[in-house]
């Protein structure tokens, strides 16, 4: 017999509704207004580690279920929208597990003229309102690697990173690029040390991991102006001092597609509408995406994302 019922109780449904209302109230108090951009778009993302779900359209080109409202929101910012947020569904292929579902709820917002530090402060305020007061600390990406692994992630060679990974993780033979080794060390060695430490902001990533963040500094001190927030070891937010340079945007997209080809993944065209928006003048701003389902997991003490979704992937 088919089980048609939701996978959560009425109490969870009410907690979810209350959280969505609380998030909207948070931004209403700060005069940041909600926008509603398309879930289905003409372009996916070039990021080699994100795969968008595609929707076939007979007789027409396929469309992409958006992995983030970022591109459309930046087009709004370029027209003078001011401070905005969006609260809604996003989609990513191949993401299923204890903290992942192919369809999930994302809160994304942009603040004009905010530095990365100012945005981190606002994220801290929001999370504190939802989860209550707890210890909050900030570390640089470099300092965490030095403390946990006695390794400088900015200057270590690819061979050094690979050897460090093999010293700490039981690995089969792998051939990875430098950033993939860093990601492996971060997820398997560094992130576990962040559990039970309250709110931990990790900032100033290697410039090769800038995504759509600005970079600043020179030489060995050059960093990507971005942060990730972990709460009790769970990553819930990713923020940038936003890139506003269309030439650099195109260069990064080209580099992404080179890496996609190396990984055997399909080429993804850069969204030329985003390029045009940047060329018209994207204002100086910082933005952040926060996983609402994970925030609810933390609030409820849930161990699996299915515990807070009315219909997780196997019930959808």
In 3D space, the residue among 65, 99, 106 whose CA is nearest the CA of residue 85 turns out to be 106
Rounded CA separation 259/240 (Å): 22
Rounded CA separation 35/71 (Å): 13
Question: pLDDT, tens digit, for every residue of 196-253?
Answer: 899 999 999 999 999 999 999 999 899 999 999 999 999 999 999 999 999 999 999 9
Question: pLDDT, tens digit, for every residue of 293-311?
Answer: 999 999 999 999 999 999 9
Q: What is the pLDDT of residue 289?
A: 98
Q: What is the pLDDT of residue 316?
A: 84
Low-confidence ranges of the chain (pLDDT < 50): none
Provide CB contacts within 8 A for 248, sequence distance 6+: none
What's the predicted TM-score (pTM) here?
0.95
**Which domains does the chain show, CATH number per domain?**
10-135+197-307 (3.30.930.10)
Residue 220 in contact with residue 154, Cβ under 8 Å?
yes
Q: What is the pLDDT of residue 1?
A: 65
């Amino acid at each position: 017999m088919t089980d048609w019922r939701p996978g959560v109780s009425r109490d969870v449904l009410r907690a979810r509704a209350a959280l969505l209302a609380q998030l909207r109230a948070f931004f209403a108090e700060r005069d940041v207004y909600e926008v509603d951009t398309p879930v289905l778009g003409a372009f996916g993302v070039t990021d080699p580690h994100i795969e968008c779900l595609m929707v076939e359209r007979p007789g027409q080109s396929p469309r992409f279920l958006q992995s983030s409202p970022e591109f459309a929101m930046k087009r709004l910012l370029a027209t003078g929208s001011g401070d905005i947020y969006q609260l809604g569904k996003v989609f990513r292929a191949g993401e299923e597990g204890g903290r992942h579902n192919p369809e999930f709820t994302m809160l994304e917002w942009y603040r004009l003229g905010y530095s990365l530090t100012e945005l981190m402060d606002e994220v801290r305020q929001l999370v504190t309102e939802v989860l209550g007061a707890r210890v909050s600390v900030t570390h640089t990406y470099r300092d965490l690697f030095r403390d946990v692994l006695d390794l400088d992630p900015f200057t270590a060679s690819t061979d050094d990173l690979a050897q460090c990974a093999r010293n700490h993780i039981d690995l089969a033979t792998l051939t990875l690029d430098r950033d993939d080794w860093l990601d492996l060390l971060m997820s398997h060695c560094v992130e576990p040390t962040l559990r039970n430490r309250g709110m931990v902001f990790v900032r100033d990533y290697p410039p090769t991991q800038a995504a759509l963040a600005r970079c600043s500094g020179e030489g060995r001190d050059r960093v990507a102006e971005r942060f990730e927030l972990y709460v009790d070891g769970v990553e819930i937010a990713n923020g940038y001092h936003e890139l506003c340079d269309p030439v650099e945007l195109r260069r990064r997209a080209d580099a992404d597609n080179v890496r996609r080809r190396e990984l055997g993944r399909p080429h993804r065209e850069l969204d030329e509408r985003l390029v045009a928006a940047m060329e018209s003048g994207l204002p100086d701003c910082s933005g952040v995406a926060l996983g609402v389902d994970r925030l609810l997991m933390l609030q409820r003490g849930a161990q699996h994302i299915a515990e807070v979704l009315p219909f997780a992937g196997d019930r959808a």
